[in-house]
Amino acid sequence: MKSIHWQNALKSPELSSLVILGVITVLFVIGNGEFLSPLNISNLLAFLPELGIIALAMTLLLTAGEFDLSVGAVFALCPVMVALLVQNTGMDFALALLLGFAACVAIGFLNGILVTKVGISSFLVTLSMLLIVRGAALYITQGFPLKSLEIEHVLVTLLSGDFRAGPFRFYASFWWFIGLTLLAIYVLDYSKLGNWISAIGSNRSAAVARGVPADAVKIGLFIATSVLAGLAGTISALRISAASPVAGTGYELEVIAMVVVGGTALNGGRGTVLGTLVGIFLLRVIRNGIVLVGVPGLAYNIFVGAIILAMLVLHALLQKNTRRT
């Protein structure tokens, strides 16, 4: 029995991704001893939640058989709206943030309606939404970043405040990320909604025949993904005290890469939040490590592309081996 458990564990995509993460981490430590320094770990954890929060929502959406290419644009639009409302109208930050999230809800709702009710593929819908939302952010700012985004409000502290624990510096966003990770694990692995999500991604017709409200679930997931993208963008803007209309460019593909590398099926039906967590750390460690060891930052996409391709091949081989046994 023990050997069977070990064989099943070795076939899991989460473990294979974790092994690669361990190997890459060791290589970076050998390449530069400062990789595990408190300063570098603090910097790594500061940036990790911004994409990680979006990746958690994308995991649920991909498990249901859909994805969202507009998250990078929403990442920029939400804080831009909040900043303009606060700076130009003197609106209270809490109300401005609520309106920013309302815009995110509208974007996610429209994505979901067009995919479920009109029947357009999520690729085409969210690609179009990416262009619309990014264009809107550029238009209302005339292409210029909004700087000096220094706002005195308790919500700012809750979203982007920081504190020290010994030599390490932690941001509030990291605890938001931890909390949302636990919530995503509960939803996908332990709730009825998680069963519905997996069933919809595996076989939508069969799920609907069993009474699963497939359209409502997908619309809800599109909304959640858009709102969390707006939350991540706002946290990022508050941390650097600037809201840029081009922030988040390319994030949509990087987020999908994190999720797929972690073991979530691109065509739906199988999702793993723990695998996504490994994928998040893997890509952020690569981005951080290649700079420390002296590799030009422009080479990052080469490493990411190679890792994604290797993981897809590995996951395919594991699936074939599982079917045979």
Write the CA distances from 38 to 64, 160, 198, integer angstroms. 39, 20, 39
Mean pLDDT in residue range 171-176: 90
- The CA distance from 49 to 226, in Å, is 16
pLDDT for 3: 46
On the question of pLDDT at 94 being above 60, the answer is yes
Who has greater pLDDT, 221 or 21? 221
Mean pLDDT in residue range 161-178: 84
pLDDT for 266: 82
pLDDT for 106: 98
pLDDT in tens, 37-92: 888 888 888 888 989 999 999 999 999 999 999 999 999 999 999 999 998 888 99
b/e code 178-188 from CB counts within 10 Å (16+ = b):
eebbeebbebb
Poorest-pLDDT segment among 194-203, 209-218, 296-305: 296-305
pLDDT for 324: 60
Mean of per-residue pLDDT scores for the chain: 88
pLDDT in tens, 101-157: 999 999 999 999 999 999 999 999 999 999 999 999 999 999 888 876 677 788 888
pLDDT for 11: 57
Mean pLDDT in residue range 209-223: 96
Q: Are 236 and 149 in contact (CB under 8 A)?
A: no
pLDDT in tens, 129-139: 999 999 999 99
- The CA distance from 117 to 115, in Å, is 6
- The C-alpha torsion from 220 through 226 and 227 to 230, rounded to 10°, is 180
Q: Are 282 and 275 in contact (CB under 8 A)?
A: no
At residue 150, the 3 state secondary structure works out as coil
Q: What kind of architecture, by CATH, is found in domain 13-324?
A: Orthogonal Bundle (1.10)
Residue found under tokens 């290589």? 27
pLDDT for 99: 97
* Domain residue ranges in the chain: 13-324
pLDDT for 325: 56
Who has greater pLDDT, 8 or 198? 198
190: number of Cβ within 10 Å: 10
C-alpha dihedral sign at 62, 64, 69, 75 = negative
Q: Are 103 and 85 in contact (CB under 8 A)?
A: no
- The CA distance from 101 to 279, in Å, is 27
Radius of gyration of the chain (CA): 20
pLDDT for 318: 67
pLDDT in tens, 255-287: 998 998 888 888 888 899 999 999 999 888 888
On the question of pLDDT at 310 being above 80, the answer is no
Who has greater pLDDT, 297 or 41? 41
Poorest-pLDDT segment among 20-24, 223-227, 315-319: 315-319
Mean pLDDT in residue range 222-246: 94
Given phi > 0 = left and psi -120 to 50 = alpha, else beta, which region is 248? Answer: left
pLDDT for 2: 44
According to DSSP, the residues that pair with 238 across neighbouring strands are none
